[in-house]
Amino acid sequence: MGFFYFDWTIIIVIPAMLFALYAQSKVKSTYNKYSAVRNMRGYTAREVARRILDENGLNDVQIEHISGNLTDHFDPKSNVIRLSDSVDNSTSVAAIGVAAHEVGHAIQHATNYAPVKIRTALVPVTNFGSRISTMLIMIGLIVAGFSQSGDTGFIIAIIGLLAYCLVAVFQFVTLPVEFNASNRALKTLENMGFLYDEEVTQAKKVLSAAALTYVAALAATLLTILRLFLIIMRSTGRNRRN
């Protein structure tokens, strides 16, 4: 008899863990590379963000500084774009790409971009589902352990798993939101003449690397769902039935 129990299902999520590590490394290396490349027109990221906002009639959207590295985001509640230490007054191609991306989110909200509305509606439901999912799965497995048939425990655990699936739904809806914001940013940077063609290509590499982290997060969640399902099936005895 062994001294410990090895749960083989952990193997399922290893590819996602490796993918996530790769994505994070890709973002860091790509951003660091192009944060050292100054745009030839000499614009700062804040200047570019302000001009794109004004060009789209979003004069009411403010731009603020926020501490940290790549903590940039658009806050729809406050109607504010916050640019991080490494982006705010930087003239790098990478910083301008990131700032324009956040402006893309502001434009999405202003134009009622459908995926943004769906994602916003999913936030409270997803938060609730993620909070109760683990508890329900654990309760289900415990009940199944004390039950003769395990049916009740199985149902409770599956409800918990379905609640966790809301996280995947939210992440799936997030993908088009992020891709669209990046596409808007790159087209605007080119059409308004902020960056030359070669610089637009460099900015695209930065934003593509960032988008990869969202894909990695979704992959990790999907594989976790598969793993939890297999654990539930095994622990409730479903995989031993005909």
Select from 41, 15, 8 the least CA-distant residue to 215.
15
Q: Among 102, 190, 198, 199, which one carries the catalytic annotation?
A: 102
Amino acid in position 137 = I
What number of other Cβ atoms are within 10 A of residue 161's Cβ? 18
The answer to whether the beta carbons of residues 53 and 101 sit under 8 Å apart is: no
The answer to whether the beta carbons of residues 221 and 154 sit under 8 Å apart is: no
**Rounded distance between C-alpha atoms, residue 203 and residue 104, angstroms:** 14
* Known catalytic membership, residue 64: no
Residue 233, sorted as left (phi over 0), alpha (psi -120 to 50) or beta, turns out to be alpha
Q: Between vectors from CA 184 to CA 183 and to CA 188, what angle results, nearest 5°? A: 115
Interacting residues of 143 by C-beta distance below 8 A, sequence separation 6+: 152, 153, 156
Residue 165, sorted as left (phi over 0), alpha (psi -120 to 50) or beta, turns out to be alpha
DSSP annotation of 128 reads H
Select from 108, 98, 103 the least CA-distant residue to 27.
98
Q: Which residue has the tokens 């893309």?
A: 104
Residues serving a catalytic function are 102
